[in-house]
Structure 1
Amino acid sequence: MFEIRIICAPADTDRIVAALDSAFAVGIVSVFPTRDGGRNRLYADADYHPETGEWPAPEEAYSLAPSIVREIGWTARTAANKAFGEDMDREYWLRKAALLDRVALLDEPAPPFGDATEAAHAAAVYLLDSDRVEQRLAERAEKDPRGYIRQEYARWAKNQ
């Protein structure tokens, strides 16, 4: 994520905000007049659109991740501490999917792939389906759910 600051003529404000929306995943754009009142200052938090560029490599996505053993412990403790019938939050499903992806990567130097790969794919599809309710996802996420998990985990880890 990064911050964008633009100073522009008031007549250009709407056009620039539209261009920002098409180029980036932009939050709310704040508009303030400059001190002299002749121009506008635009501020926005932005990120690259998830449908552009490549998925992050596993090494990049999991660079801030705790060890696999620690993540297994976290997922087990979190699941055990939930009341019966209580839904798990997105963080749980994201971390579990990322954990399964990391385990599968250890099992995948060459085919045939084992149960770990199937479990990682299933967890990634589950999170992808859950997220679809909240946001519109690109076709490429559906084609590579584990790439989507890596992207989402990397974003989540940066904000922790």
Structure 2
Amino acid sequence: MFEIRIICDPADADRVSHTLTTAFDTGSARQHPTRDGKRTRLYVTADHRPEPEVWPAPEEAYALAPSIISEIGWTADRARMHLHGRAVDRDYWLRKAALLDRMALDDETARVHTDAPEVAMNAALRLLEIDGEHSEAVTDPRGYVRQAYAHWINKQ
């Protein structure tokens, strides 16, 4: 952890603070006027951002996955159970997110423009929420799905 001190024009203080947050993991900037009152001193406690997580490639994550058709059937069955008052568990959300990710990957590979990537991202964010992860802490929610799925299927 380290401290950064910047002296800048008061009109630039917000832009400078924002720019620092993109480069470092920072706390809030503390602002004080300079002695002459014409500029602003910013003090920011910062740390290096953690290295991005390396997510498994889709081929690796889904190597043992059932066919997409099979997963559609499994997911639809569980969704029907949910409609009849039975709660769905984490496995449902994980398998649904993985299914939607695989469908989005197929569309992306075929260069077909659909809403599949957006739907897959929403499902990934739902899984992050269920797992108690903070989506802003995970740089690639769909990568997180692949990692979670690979871990889950290898335990089966």
Range class of TM-score, shorter chain: 0.5 to 0.7
* Structure 2 counterparts to residues 98-113 of structure 1, below 5 A: 98-109=98-109, 113=113
Match for residue 148 of structure 1 among 121, 144, 149: 144
2:86 alignment partner, SS class: coil
Q: Encode CA deviations 1:24-72: one digit per residue, 9 max, x unaligned.
A: xxxxxxxxxxxxxxxxxxxxxxxxxxx8751000000000000000000
User: Separation in 1 of the partners of 2:83 and 2:111?
Assistant: 40
For 1:70 and 1:139, locate their aligned partners in 2 and report how far apart those are by CA, in whole Å. 32
> 2:95 & 2:126 partners in 1: Cα distance?
12
Q: Please show how residues 8-157 of structure 1 align to structure 2 within 5 Å.
A: 53-82=53-82, 84-109=84-109, 113-132=113-132, 141=138, 143-157=139-153
Displacement of 1:82 in angstroms is 3.5
TM-score by length of 2: 0.60
Q: Which has the larger radius of gyration?
A: 2
1:73 and 1:117 map into 2 onto residues whose CA distance is 20
5+ residue gaps, structure 2: 1-50
Output the aligned Cα RMSD. 2.3
Distance 1:140 1:113, change over 3 A: farther
The Cα offsets for residues 110-140 of structure 1, whole Å up to 9 and x where unpaired, read as 86742111110000001101111xxx56855
How many Å separate the matches in 1 of 2:75 and 2:112? 27
Q: Give the SS at the match of 2:64.
A: coil
User: Would you identify which runs of 4 or more consecutive aligned residues in structure 1 move more than 6 Å?
Assistant: none
Q: Which amino acid aligns with 2:142?
A: R
Aligned length: 106
Unaligned runs of 5+ in 1: 1-50
Q: One-letter code of the match for 1:144? A: D
> What TM-score, normalized by structure 1, do the two folds share?
0.59
Structure 1 residue 79 displacement after superposition: 1.6
| Aligned-residue offset at 1:87 | 2.5
